[in-house]
Chain A
């Protein structure tokens, strides 16, 4: 088991390198460039060239690269040209190509700096990711509890009014556009409870300063119960909005998994033994229906941690989703790279976690 875990962790490294490669190819050959995005519409040709040099964008993107009509790279001192294909050789020349120099820095733990803001990407991740985690974990807690409860209730009371209601609810939940739901929630709550927060993580006038970046924890560290409640109030609506889709998916998945399990022989045996309904549903049925549900939860969790762009925009939530989106619009390469690595790493970590959970839930599953 431990070895399995270790091996899975090792696989993460090539996965992440692959991810950086894909991002780099896409960004290098997409039209538009970072120097232009940095200097804006009024930049002069000389200023643009100077900025390209400063950012290292005047070097070829890869040790093996295609000539490009749109982008002029400085020819490296050691290079082999085969038609449109250029092959850079010699360690110095190779190390200077954009991708290799990025990787070399990455291995030293340097994620680079944001071209737009001139700040270390790692620092921005530390500021942004806690906001995303806080929101996602809250949303997933809501989605899991409500979704699983609804799913089980529906399966147990198949074809009852409750079943129809909750499954219709789930369908509506899956189809509801978040930008609309978010706004409706905001308007509704501000009318029901005057003074209800309109987005952001704390009130505009709050003096709460981030320490860990997790505001629920920060408010407790500050020893202020009213701050804690304040943070919770700010968290509620975005978490609810973000929870609807995963909640609906989890509910539907739980229901169908339960229905399948309930027809199994061992469940009939359990009934025959005269066990209580509770024991049959929870111990015999639900535990066996849990594997697909966990898978779905893991996937949803992973994708939400990648940033919920719409929810973040509506609720002015400074998470990683809008951060990466901004970076893409501004050709902020290192932020894009750092962001995608972060998302990929989170996703793989959660996947590993889910696989380990399988074995814990179902002893028949063994890894070695």
Chain B
């Protein structure tokens, strides 16, 4: 039996000193490992030629975009796959991608796409009409062989595509036709979203469920490896149809702690990262060699007033709440300059935004007046719901809620804060259990319909509701339905402006803020653009190395 403590039982030196030696040995080992660092780092830098290391807060869930709905999955898949049409750089206007052109029938019900010739998937199989059909029919047709493989097709359902699309047909090898149930203006923009990515049928058939972890597309980068919870590595697709790709590799490194991401960037380990700590923004801005990119986000944070519950069924009360809240103070204090005050349910980056509309000012006296007129001279008691976790459109929900509660107290409204974890919060608010509740939305396709119809139409007000103000205005919903079937953007924009006026009058929400998205990259990074949909696109990115 080996007993380490009896090894030197009759040693001449005192025992205590021997233990001390161990401590010294440990410390020196630490230093020895530390000393190895010099060689290690220089070889790492050599290898970094043309590799972009991107630091982000979370790993992806899966890499088949039809199955996923989280931004960190889409950030990777957007670089692996292409869609028939895609959003232009820095805008949500649509341009050709895998489809070089398309025609829309007079009645807006038939879309015919002409596909690019000679494009191949990363596995060498050809891209053609069959691949397009496969990619969409597995999501659309419940009898398709892959309808039930790999989990639910989330976005297809969420965007209501099953109700929009009647049939998808192959005309010839390079022509595909979509027949719609009704004219649906946002349809084309939907096809630019990640869930509409074209996948390699051969690879899906071969990998089945595993395809989600071994993606094959036509995009600028090919999947190389994935170490769960650590990193995803993509390498350049030498045959990319959109021209030469400048980066050799992209590494998506998962670094959950916001401060550590910044430290890793400072130490030269990363070429870019997102979601910095708000309190570190000044330090980041003043670091050398940093490019600080911002873009007005395509999102809205709002306080929904449950119009089915008294006293919020009274429009005077709802307007009073709108006058009572000091939004500018919220932006200044809890968005760290990375937000703008909202007045409409649409963010300014979306076309159809009502610029001229005069917002409710911060005016507690006016609010008290309105409350008195509504029959509540002494205010009332109510609840204010806030989620427990930060969301892209609200970084500090607990603090914003506290500020709003304090504002409401000024006009005699005594609100108690209610909070739940995220899935529970969604469940309870979409069942209408709240009086007032914070929620928000990030746009998917840049279409006003994606905000207004989802969040404020009568259709959205059925349980489980996406319209958690349970706002049921016929006039408002009629305008949206009219706008949905028109194809002329100017006509549609006019209708959406009218709708925003009705929204303003009825005040089912307090629109609070639009948050600004932030990305930090090194100043030797070229061709990096932020997109309103928050997707990270490495197509045109290059790194200038001295």
Chain A interface residues toward B at CB < 8 A: 30-33, 36-48, 50-51, 54, 116-119, 124, 127-128, 142, 145-146, 149-150, 152-153, 156-157, 179, 183, 186-187, 189-190, 192-201, 203-205, 209-210, 226, 229-230, 232-233, 236, 240, 276-279, 281-283, 286-287, 313-316, 318, 322-323, 329-331
Set of chain A residues within 8 Å of B402, measured between Cβ atoms:
none
Contacting pair B150 A118 (CB below 8 A)? yes
Partner of B62, one of A46, A118, A194: A118
Set of chain A residues within 8 Å of B47, measured between Cβ atoms:
205
**Is B420 interfacial (CB-CB < 8 Å)?**
yes
Partner of A199, one of B11, B152, B213, B264: B264
Contacting pair A282 B257 (CB below 8 A)? no
Set of chain B residues within 8 Å of A199, measured between Cβ atoms:
255, 257, 260, 264
**Is B30 interfacial (CB-CB < 8 Å)?**
yes
Contacting pair A195 B40 (CB below 8 A)? yes
**Is B173 interfacial (CB-CB < 8 Å)?**
no
Given A39-B154, A205-B44, 18 more pairs with CB closer than 8 A: A44-B157, A127-B228, A145-B26, A149-B20, A152-B16, A199-B255, A199-B257, A205-B51, A209-B225, A226-B40, A232-B33, A276-B10, A278-B18, A282-B6, A313-B256, A316-B255, A318-B227, A318-B229
Q: Can you list 19 A-B contacts (CB < 8 A)?
A: A36-B427, A44-B158, A45-B463, A54-B152, A145-B26, A152-B16, A183-B260, A192-B34, A196-B267, A198-B269, A204-B53, A204-B269, A204-B270, A205-B53, A233-B36, A276-B9, A276-B15, A278-B10, A316-B229
Contacting pair B14 A278 (CB below 8 A)? yes
Contacting pair A210 B260 (CB below 8 A)? no
**Is B310 interfacial (CB-CB < 8 Å)?**
no
Q: Give the CA-CA distance A13 to B231 in the complex, in Å.
A: 37
Set of chain A residues within 8 Å of B18, measured between Cβ atoms:
278
Contacting pair B62 A196 (CB below 8 A)? no
Q: Give the CA-CA distance A226 to B42 in the complex, in Å.
A: 13
Contacting pair B152 A203 (CB below 8 A)? no
Q: Give the CA-CA distance A205 to B250 in the complex, in Å.
A: 10
**Is B38 interfacial (CB-CB < 8 Å)?**
yes
**Is B395 interfacial (CB-CB < 8 Å)?**
no
Contacting pair B428 A31 (CB below 8 A)? yes
- B287 → chain A closest CB, angstroms: 14
Contacting pair A33 B160 (CB below 8 A)? no
**Is B490 interfacial (CB-CB < 8 Å)?**
no
Partner of A198, one of B48, B260, B428: B260
Q: Give the CA-CA distance A314 to B462 in the complex, in Å.
A: 43
Residue-by-residue, is B20-45 near A (CB-CB < 8 Å gives 1, otherwise 0)?
10110010001001111110111010
- B23 → chain A closest CB, angstroms: 6
Chain B interface residues toward A at CB < 8 A: 5-6, 8-11, 14-16, 18-20, 22-23, 26, 30, 33-38, 40-42, 44, 47-48, 51, 53, 61-62, 67, 69, 150-152, 154-155, 157-158, 160, 209, 212-213, 225, 227-231, 251, 253-257, 259-260, 263-264, 266-270, 420-424, 426-428, 454, 462-464, 466
Contacting pair A45 B44 (CB below 8 A)? no
Contacting pair B154 A316 (CB below 8 A)? no
Q: Give the CA-CA distance A316 to B227 in the complex, in Å.
A: 12
Q: Give the CA-CA distance A278 to B269 in the complex, in Å.
A: 49
Contacting pair B37 A194 (CB below 8 A)? yes
Contacting pair A316 B257 (CB below 8 A)? yes
Contacting pair B152 A50 (CB below 8 A)? yes
Nearest residue, chain B, Cβ from A210: B227
Partner of A38, one of B152, B229, B260: B152
Contacting pair A51 B152 (CB below 8 A)? yes
Q: Give the CA-CA distance A183 to B22 in the complex, in Å.
A: 27
Partner of B9, one of A36, A187, A196, A283: A283
Set of chain B residues within 8 Å of A209, measured between Cβ atoms:
225, 227
Q: Are A277 and B10 CB-contacts (below 8 A) given A32-B427, A124-B228, A186-B263?
A: no
Set of chain B residues within 8 Å of A142, measured between Cβ atoms:
26
Contacting pair B11 A278 (CB below 8 A)? yes
Q: Give the CA-CA distance A267 to B407 in the complex, in Å.
A: 72
Q: Give the CA-CA distance A233 to B37 in the complex, in Å.
A: 8
Q: Are A200 and B230 CB-contacts (below 8 A) given A32-B427, A118-B151?
A: yes
For the complex of A and B, the 3 pairs showing the least CB-CB separation, nearest first, are: A195-B41, A318-B229, A278-B15
Nearest residue, chain B, Cβ from A50: B152
Set of chain A residues within 8 Å of B428, measured between Cβ atoms:
31
Set of chain A residues within 8 Å of B253, measured between Cβ atoms:
200, 204, 316
Contacting pair A42 B9 (CB below 8 A)? no
Contacting pair B14 A36 (CB below 8 A)? no
Partner of B19, one of A48, A149, A316: A149
Set of chain B residues within 8 Å of A329, measured between Cβ atoms:
421-423
Partner of B228, one of A38, A152, A230, A318: A318
Contacting pair B427 A33 (CB below 8 A)? yes
Set of chain A residues within 8 Å of B230, measured between Cβ atoms:
200-201, 316, 318
Contacting pair B34 A193 (CB below 8 A)? yes
- A275 → chain B closest CB, angstroms: 9
How many inter-chain residue pairs (CB < 8 Å) link A and B?
A: 219
Q: Are A187 and B263 CB-contacts (below 8 A) given A149-B23, A153-B20, A316-B254?
A: yes
Q: Are A198 and B264 CB-contacts (below 8 A) given A47-B157, A204-B269, A281-B15?
A: yes
Among A47, A118, A313, the one with the most B-chain Cβ atoms within 10 Å of its Cβ is A118
- B457 → chain A closest CB, angstroms: 14
Q: Are A186 and B260 CB-contacts (below 8 A) given A33-B427, A153-B20, A195-B44?
A: yes
Nearest residue, chain A, Cβ from B23: A149
Set of chain A residues within 8 Å of B209, measured between Cβ atoms:
118
Contacting pair A33 B9 (CB below 8 A)? no
Q: Give the CA-CA distance A195 to B268 in the complex, in Å.
A: 8
Nearest residue, chain B, Cβ from A186: B263
- A278 → chain B closest CB, angstroms: 4
Q: Give the CA-CA distance A7 to B256 in the complex, in Å.
A: 43
Q: Give the CA-CA distance A313 to B256 in the complex, in Å.
A: 6
Contacting pair B423 A37 (CB below 8 A)? yes
Nearest residue, chain A, Cβ from B163: A44
Contacting pair A230 B263 (CB below 8 A)? no
Contacting pair B40 A230 (CB below 8 A)? yes
Contacting pair A331 B34 (CB below 8 A)? no
Set of chain A residues within 8 Å of B256, measured between Cβ atoms:
313, 316, 322
Set of chain B residues within 8 Å of A236, measured between Cβ atoms:
30, 33
Set of chain A residues within 8 Å of B150, measured between Cβ atoms:
118
Q: Are A277 and B427 CB-contacts (below 8 A) given A43-B154, A183-B260, A316-B260?
A: no
Set of chain A residues within 8 Å of B155, measured between Cβ atoms:
42
Contacting pair B260 A152 (CB below 8 A)? no
Set of chain B residues within 8 Å of A48, measured between Cβ atoms:
464
Q: Give the CA-CA distance A209 to B225 in the complex, in Å.
A: 9
Nearest residue, chain A, Cβ from B41: A195
Set of chain B residues within 8 Å of A40, measured between Cβ atoms:
69, 154, 158
Q: Give the CA-CA distance A146 to B270 in the complex, in Å.
A: 35
Contacting pair A204 B212 (CB below 8 A)? no
Contacting pair A153 B19 (CB below 8 A)? yes
Contacting pair A152 B426 (CB below 8 A)? no
Contacting pair A36 B38 (CB below 8 A)? no
Contacting pair A195 B267 (CB below 8 A)? yes
Q: Give the CA-CA distance A331 to B40 in the complex, in Å.
A: 42
Nearest residue, chain B, Cβ from A208: B227
Nearest residue, chain B, Cβ from A200: B230
- A252 → chain B closest CB, angstroms: 16
Contacting pair A196 B152 (CB below 8 A)? no
Q: Are A233 and B33 CB-contacts (below 8 A) given A47-B157, A48-B464, A146-B23?
A: yes
Nearest residue, chain A, Cβ from B270: A204
Q: Give the CA-CA distance A183 to B257 in the complex, in Å.
A: 10
Set of chain A residues within 8 Å of B259, measured between Cβ atoms:
183
Set of chain A residues within 8 Å of B16, measured between Cβ atoms:
152-153, 156-157, 277, 281
Q: Give the CA-CA distance A40 to B159 in the complex, in Å.
A: 13
Q: Give the CA-CA distance A331 to B427 in the complex, in Å.
A: 13
